[in-house]
Amino acid sequence: MKLVIFDLDQTLVDFITIHDETTLELFRRFFGVDARLTDIDFAGRSLADNFGELARRKNVPADKFSEKLPELLDNYERIFAEKMPQDASRYILPGVKELLIELDKTDNFIVLYTGDSSGTVDTVFQATGLGKYFRFSQYGTEVKTRTEMARKAIEKAAALTRRKFSGKDIVIIGDSVRDIDCGKEFNALTIAVATGFHSAEELAAHKPDYLFKSLKDYRKVLKAISGTSKWVSLVDIIRMIVFVLIALILGLFGASLLFSDLGPGETMTRRLIMAVVFFFLSGLVVSYFTPKFWLLGGLVSWGGALLGFGGLLRGPTTETVIYLLPSIAPAFIGGYLGGVVGRRQLLGKLVRRLFRRG
Ligand SMILES: [Mg+2]
């Protein structure tokens, strides 16, 4: 599991024209000057930070600015929301939706960090429908720097998942050099995307681990995110050994179901149905807990398979087929399904969704 931290503006969506119009309107109203976000190097900074620099540039007296700042931020959320079109899907950058949908199928923990305020993010999420892909958002209005924002997000993710994220288990994806610099402070995997204010050359100079023109080729981005997590860890190996043993024990039970005598009143059909269900469920459970090695689920049929192959050597009979088919087929089908459910954490997602609705 990796912690993937996305920036919002010009990484996932591009509402800069609306941010610009909102800033212009408010600076005119509050300070009587024309000021746009794009007048300064706004990328990767909090809104309050950007306003401070704009005010200095436009010679707004410092005391007047600090006195008006809270009101300015409040009005910002409202005006930004008023200017937002009902359906803002065209403001979502290419490949973003596909990337988020694919990431949603993995066990990675996806969060957002942004210099925007929570009200502005709510407006963006409502208009774009992107909110459902993020476990939480860390806002720039709560802390001063991008690094503090990331630190808070990492701590919060650790508390929620009860696991520690460090080094390349943390992935930071953003369009500004500040996203890269911030990622480097945590030795995180940094993915820069040149869909913002900073050019590909400027981004490259800060040496991100990966640099993409856009997120359009989302499969490449997915690969960059998963990086080393494709390797099998020691914990995975221990887990696999334990489940090999469990699979063998279940297989032994299964085999005894196949070759033991029928009980009084028990029919062969009933016994076979029981065997099929047993192998299917055993394969499902084993693979659910070891989704990376879903073929293990098939191992639960080893007893039946052994009896079947023994029969084949002596010459195939109906008995051989009875040993092979009701054990191998359901064990592998169950194993495959268990792997899919386990890998996508479908049960966890279902529980989370129920909780959210509740
Ligand atoms: Mg950005």
CA of 228 to the centre of ligand 1 (A): 26
CA of 129 to the centre of ligand 1 (A): 18
**pLDDT tens digits for range 313-327:** 888 788 788 788 888
| Whole-number pLDDT of residue 84 | 94
Q: Which whole number is the average pLDDT over 256-263?
A: 82
Q: Closest Cα partner for 250 from 288, 289, 294, 281?
A: 281
Classify domain 16-83 by CATH architecture: Orthogonal Bundle (1.10)
CA of 66 to the centre of ligand 1 (A): 25
Q: What residue spans in the chain does CATH classification 3.40.50.1000 cover? A: 3-12+92-230
- Give percent of the chain above pLDDT 70: 95
CA of 70 to the centre of ligand 1 (A): 23
Q: What are phi and psi of 264, to 5 degrees?
A: -60, 130
CA of 138 to the centre of ligand 1 (A): 14
CA of 135 to the centre of ligand 1 (A): 19
**pLDDT tens digits for range 31-85:** 999 999 999 999 888 888 899 999 999 999 999 999 999 999 889 999 999 999 9
**pLDDT tens digits for range 181-196:** 999 999 999 999 999 9
Contact 187, 167 (CB under 8 A): yes
What top-level class would CATH report for the domain 3-12+92-230?
Answer: alpha beta
CA of 8 to the centre of ligand 1 (A): 6
Tell me which of 21 and 106 has the higher pLDDT.
Answer: 21
Q: What residue spans in the chain does CATH classification 1.10.150 cover? A: 16-83
d(CA 44, CA 34): 22
**pLDDT tens digits for range 240-259:** 889 889 988 998 888 888 87
d(CA 319, CA 110): 52
